[in-house]
Amino acid sequence: MLKYLYALLLCFLYLSDIKAQNYHKEFSSPEKHLRVKFFMKEGKARYAVEYDGKKMIDEGSLGFILNQKDSLLDFESVKTNLIVHEGIWNTVWGQTSTVNDNYTELRAELISRKKKLLLKIRFRAYDDGFAFRYEIPTQKGLSKPTVTSEESRFTLNGNYSCWWSWADYNTLEKNYYHTSIDSAVHVATPFTLQRDDGVCMSIHEAAIIDYSTMTLRQDTSDSHRYKVNLVPWADGSLVKTNGHLISPWRAFIIGHSPAALIESNLILNLNEPNVLKDVSWIRPMTYSGIWWEMHLGLSTWKQGPKHGANTKNAKRYIDFASANGIKAILMEGWNTGWENWGQKDAFDFVTPCPDLDLKEVVRYARAKGVEIIGHHETGGDTESYEKHLKEAFKIYHDLGIRVVKTGYAGSVTPAGEYHHGQCMVRHYNKVMRMAAEYHIMLDVHEPIVLSGLSRTYPNLMTAEGVRGMEWNAWSQGNPPSHTCTLPFTRGLAGPMDYTAGIFDIDLSAHAKERVKWNGPDSGTTAVHSTLVNQLALMIILYSPLQMAADLPENYTGHPAFNCIKSLPTTWDESKVLDAKIGEYIIMARRSGTTWYIAGITNESGRELNLSLDFLKQQLPFKGTLYADGKDAHYELNPESYTINQVSLTSDTFNIKLAPGGGFVLKLEK
């Protein structure tokens, strides 16, 4: 049982009611890097934020409009409580084995002027960021309030460039833009910015429990000012309550470099500790499976002569996994219903296709030391899924299947609801909690944006919510700059199931057999990276469930596959050694005494001289270097690579990356 070590050091300065117009309070993070001012301005609640003496948020505003009229915007009194907290907690899995959790928190209680309603706000100052959240308690005069506008706004100080994707209430599978802030009119989060002086910030939310997810809308009169915009219900309301409301945290990760954004644990720290008493069944792993072949058009999800998830094919994947130390295989398309795609109640989630003997496949896998990853595609029909949920999880549990990949591709039910509204937040979290009851780990596709809930429910292992590898099989695909942007954008929300590890880069191995399932091939379909870049992505794009996505025949006998076979999926320590958002990133991760150093670059090749001073006291190391070949190029010669044994005796390392390329250096004592 993991122990969470918390020490509540000090609780002081409880003030009696103060007239709102006269109030202001400033407080700092534990190491004084971040300073927050909470103040009232003509009865309105306001805040401002500085980072190492530099203004980051000039003025933010706070409050709600409820039931289209009952405003929590104008206040007559306020009282506060200041708390300093120091703690450290152990992860079940993650990018580090321990997390420091140190902050200063100001708790404010405000009484509205007209109806004397109570609004509670908690502000937290960490050394790597700032956050606030609301609570509206159950109270007289306010029965089951509905949020019709969250009035959270902030004005950014300084000149920024930013990396962002258009807000879409139904999908997160978007390209990212790098523009000035003027162009970022309506954005999804995480919303990542870098100021002219180099300071970086990413705006996101943490602990989305029973609330709508947020986007950010730019003020039409001030491009530096944004308002929280909530994804609505079908009836237009934003957040429905039973009388008590707790919002997600509005979080601002702040640091002096892009590396600081990735190394921050702010989003996790803003979530509650692990509530699962037994976590022995939660195990990170590398997996393979019946998936990429369908996206390539070599087999089908639905029943028929080319159905992929049949008994014979499943056993072929199991044999491959067993022979190569891969812990599990996914069987996507194992159950009936795919042939009825788009119809109500298409899937029952429990009936195998006639050509798949589920019990036999599970028995065979167990005998070979391989786990089966189950799959529940809903087509967006959450009503049907919830009807079958207990039965479906029980069948998996009884068979010993401990991981389930879920999918929500399609319009959701109830009709008219958005993927990212409160209705679906409730659904996803219900599935997460019920999966925990049945000791099932989750890989969620077409999810709501992750918000750190894996700290509280560590069976929520990973999620898609990204324009991932599959797009390279049947569209113009993802450019190399895309994966150089993801660690600083989508990656800040939590683990992503990007499904890297493709070795057949130009998709030529089965070109004559492919039947593109979603329209004619444009002729440019390919994986836009070098082969070694694919290895590096499995280290840089973090997920505790990491898919080696290519076909078994493309891995078998391939020397570079040795890198994947030995790759950990949970880490004791992680560092960003060098990075420029959208251009390149170099990361070092440690498991035990073994270090993996990996890097990727965008369309530009580059040569980097890396400082490895953090290894100085541990030298020498022996290592294996997977690198781009001298003639490698993500379009012209993507599968050119070298593997060399190296001896590291110096704390500097020089490496050349091809255009769209990468490297992996495995170092062992």
CA 12 vs. chain centroid, Å, equals 36
Torsions phi, psi of 387, nearest 5?
A: -65, -35
**Residue numbers annotated as active site:** 470
Q: Which residues pair with 300 in a beta bridge?
A: 307
- Residue linked to tokens 């990760």: 253
- Please answer whether residues 101 and 269 qualify as being in contact, where contact means their C-beta atoms are separated by less than 8 angstroms: yes
CA 400 vs. chain centroid, Å, equals 27
Beta strand segments in 334-414, E: 371-377, 403-407
CA distances to 158, 192, 216 from 56, in Å: 8, 13, 17
410-416 CB contacts, 8 Å cutoff, 24+ apart: 410/341, 410/342, 410/378, 410/379, 410/380, 410/381, 411/380, 412/380, 412/381, 412/382, 413/344, 413/380, 413/381, 413/382, 413/383, 413/384, 414/234, 414/383, 415/234, 416/234
d(CA 500, CA 509): 17
> Is 190 in a helix, a strand, or coil?
coil
CA distances to 332, 579, 601, 653 from 608, in Å: 41, 11, 11, 8
> Which 8-state DSSP code applies to residue 434?
H
What are the structure tokens assigned to 331, written together? 């069987």
Report which secondary-structure segment, H or E, holds 568. Answer: none
Q: Which residues pair with 375 in a beta bridge?
A: 405
d(CA 155, CA 62): 12
Q: How far apart are the first and last CA of the chain?
A: 30
Q: Where are the alpha helices (DSSP H) in 280-381?
A: 292-296, 311-324, 358-367
Q: Which residues pair with 573 in a beta bridge?
A: 590
- Please answer whether residues 451 and 248 qualify as being in contact, where contact means their C-beta atoms are separated by less than 8 angstroms: yes
Query: Does residue 273 have a cis bond before it (omega within 30 degrees)?
Result: no
d(CA 599, CA 654): 12
Beta strand segments in 101-243, E: 103-112, 118-126, 129-136, 146-150, 153-156, 160-164, 177-180, 186-187, 191-195, 200-206, 214-219, 222-230, 239-240
> Is 98 in a helix, a strand, or coil?
strand
Query: Dihedral sign, CA of 214, 218, 220, 224?
Result: positive
d(CA 149, CA 508): 52
What are the structure tokens assigned to 444, written together? 């969620």
d(CA 112, CA 401): 52
Report which secondary-structure segment, H or E, holds 432. Answer: helix 422-437
Residue 108 CB: number of other CB atoms within 10 A? Answer: 24
d(CA 360, CA 220): 61
